[in-house]
C-alpha cells in the first residue's frame, strides 16, 4: 500500500512542479512586458495613426458599393484589391502565390430560383407562392405534382403512423427558436430536429412550416461551400423543409383541421449547381531586422468579409458590416502604414493579413492553417482583430477598453494589458465572454496548431450586430485610434522580445493548445 501511494505521489508532485513552472513563466512574461519603453522612433510611427485616416478607409470598405462583402462577391474582390493596394503603398513585401494574394479554389453549390413554382390548389382556386416568400432548407431538387397535404400539429408527431404520412406533404407550424430567449435555443433546436427526424422516418415527401411574423423569406439562401481538398462523402439526405411566409397559407393552415387538407401542392425547386470560385487571403510582410529572429513571425489579422445583401424586402438591404469587421480590416491597413515607417524595424517579422470567409465558417483562416505561407513552428504569435470600432456595447460604453478572447490562456493577454497601461487603455478579461468567444473567430485555426493566438475586440455584442444598421458613421474613430495604437505597441512588445509568447500551462483550458505547441516543437 505504501509503494502504491509513493508511485501515485511522484507524478502528482511532477504535475504540480510543471504547473508552477508554467505559472512562473507566465508571470515573467508580464514583468518583461511591463519593462518595455516606447522609443521616439516608435512614437513617431504611432503618431501616424489617425482617426481621420481610419474614417477614410472604413467609409469605403463598409460602403454600399461593396454590397456587404459576401463570400464570394464582387464587393469582396474590391475589398481585397483595396487592401492589397495599401499594403503596396506601405512597402510591405508581397508573399502570396499571386502577389499579395494567397489564392484558394473552392466549389460553391448554388440554387437558381428562376423556375421556382409553388401552387396550392383547392378545387378551382389556386394560391401561387412567390420565390421571395419562402425559405428553403433542402439539399437536392424537388418536383411534386398535385401531392396530397396533411395538417400536423407540431407537438402531435409521436401519434402519427406511416400510413397517414407516407408520400404526403406535411403542413405544420414550427416555432422559430431565433425569436425566443437565447437560453431556450438548444432545447427548441433539438425539438425541431426530432420533429423532422420523425417525419423522415414516416416517409413524408416534404415538410412545410408557416411563418406568421414575416412576409418575406430568404429564398434559396446562401450557397454551400465545398472544399475540393477535403470533399466529404455524400451525407444521407435530411428531411426537406420549406418555410412559407405568405399570409394566405397561414389562413389555409388555420382553417384546416388536423389530418387531410382539401388542397394539393404542386412544387418545382431546382437542384443546386456547383461552380468554381477563387477566394483570396491578402498578405504582406514587414521583414524583421534581427539576424537571429527575422525568420520568426508575428501575425496581425482580421477578416474582411461580411454577410452581403438581404435577399428580399424594401429599403436598405445591405449588411455593411462596419464594425464586423471593416473596423478590424482597416486597423490592419493602418498598422501596416504606421509600422512600416519605423527607422528601426522590429526584431521579428510582422505578417499583416486579412482573411476571406470568416462568416461562412472561418474559411480563410482554416485555409491558411492548412497552407501556411510561413512555417507554423516559426510563427510565435497571432493577434486577430474583431469589432474594434464601436464603443456602444450592449453592456454599456466601452471607451478606452479592450478585451482578448482566452485572455489568460497565454501571456499575450498580459502583454497587451501592459501595453494598455502605457497608453491609458484598460485591457481586461471579460469574465463571461472571454473564454466563450475564443473559438468563434479566426484565431482558432492557429491556436489549434499550437500558436498562441487570440482575438482582440472592444465590444463583444452591440446594437446592429449582423444587422442592417452597422454603418461606418456609428464608429467611434477617436477611440479606434487609441485601440490601434494599443495594438501597435502590443505587437512591438512581442516582435522585439527574444522570448516568444507562451501558453499558460497552469490554465487547464489551455491544455490542448499547450500540447499542440509542444508537439510542433517536438518537446515531448
Q: What is the CATH number of the domain that holds 431?
A: 3.40.630.10
Q: Would 454 be classed as within a structural domain? A: yes
Please tell me whether residues 477 and 363 are part of one structural domain: yes
Please tell me whether residues 97 and 125 are part of one structural domain: no
Please tell me whether residues 235 and 342 are part of one structural domain: no
DSSP type of residue 322: I
Please tell me whether residues 85 and 173 are part of one structural domain: no
Please tell me whether residues 281 and 403 are part of one structural domain: yes
CATH code of the domain covering residue 241: 3.50.30.30
Identify the pLDDT of residue 27: 55
- Residue tagged 504582406 (cell numbers): 284
Please tell me whether residues 333 and 463 are part of one structural domain: yes
What's the residue count for the chain?
524
- Provide the whole-model pTM: 0.84
Residues (pLDDT < 50) of the chain are 1-24, 29, 524
Identify the pLDDT of residue 1: 36
Last residue of a domain, one of 239, 271, 303: 271
Identify the pLDDT of residue 182: 66
Please tell me whether residues 407 and 431 are part of one structural domain: yes
Last residue of a domain, one of 271, 294, 321: 271
125-128 and 117-122: which strand pairing? antiparallel
Alpha carbon distance, N-terminus to C-terminus of the chain: 31
Identify the pLDDT of residue 15: 37
Identify the pLDDT of residue 5: 36
Widest CA span of the chain, in angstroms? 90
Q: Are 194 and 85 in contact (CB under 8 A)?
A: no
Q: Would 175 be classed as within a structural domain? A: yes
Find all residues with CB under 8 Å of 522, minimum gap 6, and list them.
Answer: none
Please tell me whether residues 144 and 164 are part of one structural domain: yes
Identify the pLDDT of residue 31: 55
Identify the pLDDT of residue 44: 97
Query: Which residue range is the domain that position 221 belongs to?
Result: 112-271
Identify which of 431, 355, 340 has the alpha carbon closest to the alpha carbon of residue 386.
355
Count how many domains the chain has.
Answer: 2
Q: Would 79 be classed as within a structural domain? A: yes
Q: Would 6 be classed as within a structural domain? A: no
Identify the pLDDT of residue 183: 74
Find all residues with CB under 8 Å of 326, minimum gap 6, and list them.
Answer: 58, 61, 62, 69, 304, 306, 320, 389, 472
Identify the pLDDT of residue 9: 39
Identify the pLDDT of residue 222: 78
Degrees, nearest 5: CA angle 110-111-116:
165
Separation CA 311–CA 220 (nearest Å) = 9
Identify which of 318, 311, 313, 321 has the alpha carbon closest to the alpha carbon of residue 390.
321
Asked whether the bond before 72 is cis by omega within 30 degrees of 0, the reply is: yes
Q: What is the pLDDT of residues 261-279, one digit of tens each?
A: 999 999 999 999 999 999 9
Amino acid at each position: 500500500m505504501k509503494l502504491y501511494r509513493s508511485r501515485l505521489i511522484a507524478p502528482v508532485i511532477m504535475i504540480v512542479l510543471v504547473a508552477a513552472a508554467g505559472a512562473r513563466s507566465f508571470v515573467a512574461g508580464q514583468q518583461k512586458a511591463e519593462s518595455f519603453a516606447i522609443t521616439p522612433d516608435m512614437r513617431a510611427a504611432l503618431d501616424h495613426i489617425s482617426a481621420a485616416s481610419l474614417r477614410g478607409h472604413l467609409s469605403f470598405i463598409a460602403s454600399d458599393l461593396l454590397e456587404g462583402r459576401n463570400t464570394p462577391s464582387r464587393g469582396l474582390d474590391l475589398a481585397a484589391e483595396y487592401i492589397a493596394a495599401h499594403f503596396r503603398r506601405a512597402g510591405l513585401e508581397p508573399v502570396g502565390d499571386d502577389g499579395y494574394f494567397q489564392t484558394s479554389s473552392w466549389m460553391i453549390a448554388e440554387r437558381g430560383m428562376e423556375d421556382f413554382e409553388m401552387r396550392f390548389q383547392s378545387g378551382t382556386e389556386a394560391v401561387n407562392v412567390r420565390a421571395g416568400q419562402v425559405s428553403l432548407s433542402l439539399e437536392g431538387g424537388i418536383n411534386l405534382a398535385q401531392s396530397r397535404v396533411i395538417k400536423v400539429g407540431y407537438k402531435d408527431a409521436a401519434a402519427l403512423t406511416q400510413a397517414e404520412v407516407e408520400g404526403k406533404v406535411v403542413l405544420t407550424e414550427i416555432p422559430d427558436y431565433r425569436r425566443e430567449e437565447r437560453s431556450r435555443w438548444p432545447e427548441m433546436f433539438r425539438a425541431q430536429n426530432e420533429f423532422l427526424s420523425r417525419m423522415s422516418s414516416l416517409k413524408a415527401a416534404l415538410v412545410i412550416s408557416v411563418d406568421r411574423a414575416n412576409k418575406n423569406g430568404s429564398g434559396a439562401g446562401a450557397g454551400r461551400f465545398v472544399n475540393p481538398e477535403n470533399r466529404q462523402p455524400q451525407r444521407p439526405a435530411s428531411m426537406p423543409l420549406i418555410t412559407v411566409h405568405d399570409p394566405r397559407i397561414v389562413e389555409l393552415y388555420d382553417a384546416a383541421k388536423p389530418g387531410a387538407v382539401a388542397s394539393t401542392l404542386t412544387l418545382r425547386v431546382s437542384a443546386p449547381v456547383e461552380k468554381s470560385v477563387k477566394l483570396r487571403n491578402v498578405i504582406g510582410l514587414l521583414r524583421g531586422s534581427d539576424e537571429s529572429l527575422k525568420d520568426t513571425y508575428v501575425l496581425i489579422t482580421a477578416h474582411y468579409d461580411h454577410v452581403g445583401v438581404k435577399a428580399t424586402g424594401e429599403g436598405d438591404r445591405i449588411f455593411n458590416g462596419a464594425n464586423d469587421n471593416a473596423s478590424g480590416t482597416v486597423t490592419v491597413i493602418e498598422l501596416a502604414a504606421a509600422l512600416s515607417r519605423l527607422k528601426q524595424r522590429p526584431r521579428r517579422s510582422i505578417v499583416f493579413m486579412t482573411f476571406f470567409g470568416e462568416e461562412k465558417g472561418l474559411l480563410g483562416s482554416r485555409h491558411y492553417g492548412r497552407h501556411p505561407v510561413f512555417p507554423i513552428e516559426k510563427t510565435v504569435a497571432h493577434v486577430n482583430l474583431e469589432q474594434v470600432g464601436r464603443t456602444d456595447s450592449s453592456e454599456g460604453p466601452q471607451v478606452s477598453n479592450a478585451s482578448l478572447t482566452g485572455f489568460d490562456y497565454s501571456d499575450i493577454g498580459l502583454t497587451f494589458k501592459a501595453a494598455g497601461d502605457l497608453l491609458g487603455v484598460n485591457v481586461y478579461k471579460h469574465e463571461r465572454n472571454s473564454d466563450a468567444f475564443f473559438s468563434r473567430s479566426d484565431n482558432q485555426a492557429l491556436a489549434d496548431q499550437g500558436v498562441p493566438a487570440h482575438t482582440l475586440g472592444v465590444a463583444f455584442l452591440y446594437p446592429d450586430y449582423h444587422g442592417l444598421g452597422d454603418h461606418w458613421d456609428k464608429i467611434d474613430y477617436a477611440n479606434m485610434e487609441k485601440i490601434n495604437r494599443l495594438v501597435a505597441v502590443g505587437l512591438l512588445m512581442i516582435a522585439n522580445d527574444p522570448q516568444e509568447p507562451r501558453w499558460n500551462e497552469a490554465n487547464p483550458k489551455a491544455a490542448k493548445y499547450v500540447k499542440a505547441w509542444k508537439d510542433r516543437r517536438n518537446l515531448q
